[in-house]
């Protein structure tokens, strides 16, 4: 097993330098925020009362996060669509935002092509590809993602700009102060969990060691529900490890009953309970009781608490920690965190099955 305190292991197992993107996330968020605030939206977009984000994988998670963040504050409807077809409720007061890092995600292109034939408002977030061409040919706003990375490493560009756009549309109050505070919180957190900090003082390394050779189950609730999804997908893609996520209070109505069998899995399961202080008091009580049930069934688990004052900081502090944990877990697995060979294989087979189809986040 790799020694996470040996600088040479990162050179050996991370030749494409995912580490650089982890270090760069705080500044990426800051840059994306100011870039998005500078993008002008047509005046008639001001009357939208619904927003639908089209996307898959690392390009869709920003929509999930912004929905979780703003849903308690906004009466407007925010929906994330991971399908080939648009939802039936699309109308002239709907803003459809197509988010695709590559611009060639086939599910997103399919739904966006349908949007182009409707009366809804439309815009795109991408580095290029067919999506950018379609949007520009239609005279639509395009937010250009400028970072070169795997889509999942461009979270600052898939999430933070959505806050800026929805703020322009009065879906949310001014978040400028919260965004800047969040970036500073991430910069401080980086100094505590980066690769040069020894394992004994590094909670990301310590948690990765606990998760090594385990099936990882992430629990979240409220604004942390989609953060749990992010942990799950990062562990899948970076660490190449089985991972699942569930949310409270729903899991208290079913999952807790399933702790008993099979006994053989007890030593292979590790549950991470993501938690933040802004959750409903009854949800926080459920966390404690769920902890008791896990202990009664001798299932390894750990509370992981957020940092920061605002809900945005609390969400992003947990996301950032999870990104580092998944990176360290990849190193412990002696695997390169960047490639996603199974997805590449799936895209190749889809292309063979129907020429012209190409899927990429």
Just list the catalytic residues. 237, 253, 347
- Nearest residue to 101 (alpha-carbon basis) of 48, 61, 39, 59: 59
The tokens for 20 are 């650089």
For residue 223, say if its preceding peptide bond is cis, omega within 30 degrees of 0. no
Contact 229, 319 (CB under 8 A): no
DSSP character at residue 263 = G
d(CA 319, CA 22) in angstroms, rounded, equals 11
Q: What are phi and psi of 347, to 5 degrees?
A: -65, -40
d(CA 341, CA 345) in angstroms, rounded, equals 6
d(CA 136, CA 235) in angstroms, rounded, equals 35
- Nearest residue to 29 (alpha-carbon basis) of 183, 254, 231: 183
* Helices marked H in the chain: 7-13, 18-37, 61-70, 106-116, 129-137, 155-168, 176-193, 203-211, 225-237, 281-296, 311-332, 341-353
């Amino acid at each position: 097993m790799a020694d996470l305190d040996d600088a040479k292991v990162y050179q050996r197992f991370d030749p494409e330098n995912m580490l650089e993107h982890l270090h760069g996330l705080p500044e990426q968020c800051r840059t994306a925020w100011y870039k998005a605030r500078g993008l002008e939206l047509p005046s008639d977009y001001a009357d939208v009362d619904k927003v639908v984000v089209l996307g898959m994988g690392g390009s869709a998670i920003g929509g999930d996060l912004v929905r979780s963040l703003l849903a308690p504050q906004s009466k407007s409807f925010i929906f994330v669509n991971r399908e080939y077809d648009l939802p039936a409720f699309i109308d002239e007061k709907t803003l459809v935002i197509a988010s695709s890092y590559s611009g060639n995600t086939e599910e997103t292109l399919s739904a966006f092509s349908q949007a182009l034939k409707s009366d809804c408002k439309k815009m795109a977030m991408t580095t290029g590809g067919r999506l950018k061409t379609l949007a520009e040919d239609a005279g639509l706003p395009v937010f250009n993602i400028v970072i070169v990375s795997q889509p999942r490493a461009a979270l600052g560009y898939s999430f933070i700009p959505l806050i800026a756009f929805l703020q322009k549309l009065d879906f949310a109050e001014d978040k400028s102060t919260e965004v800047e505070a969040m970036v500073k919180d991430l910069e401080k957190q980086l100094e505590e969990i980066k690769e040069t900090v020894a394992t004994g003082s590094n909670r990301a390394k310590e948690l990765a060691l606990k998760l090594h050779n385990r099936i990882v189950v992430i629990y979240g609730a409220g604004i942390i529900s989609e953060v749990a999804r992010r942990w799950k997908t990062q562990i899948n893609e970076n660490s190449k490890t089985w991972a699942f996520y569930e949310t409270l209070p729903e899991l208290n109505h079913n999952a807790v009953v399933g702790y008993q069998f099979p006994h053989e899995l007890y030593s292979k399961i590790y549950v991470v309970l993501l938690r933040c202080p802004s959750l409903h008091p009854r949800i926080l009580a459920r966390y404690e009781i769920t902890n008791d049930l896990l202990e009664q069934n001798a299932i390894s688990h750990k509370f992981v608490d957020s940092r920061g004052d605002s809900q945005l900081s609390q969400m992003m502090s947990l996301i950032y920690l999870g990104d580092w944990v998944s990176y360290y877990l990849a190193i412990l697995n002696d695997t390169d965190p960047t490639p996603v060979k199974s997805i590449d294989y799936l895209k190749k087979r889809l292309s063979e099955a129907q020429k012209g189809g190409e899927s990429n986040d």
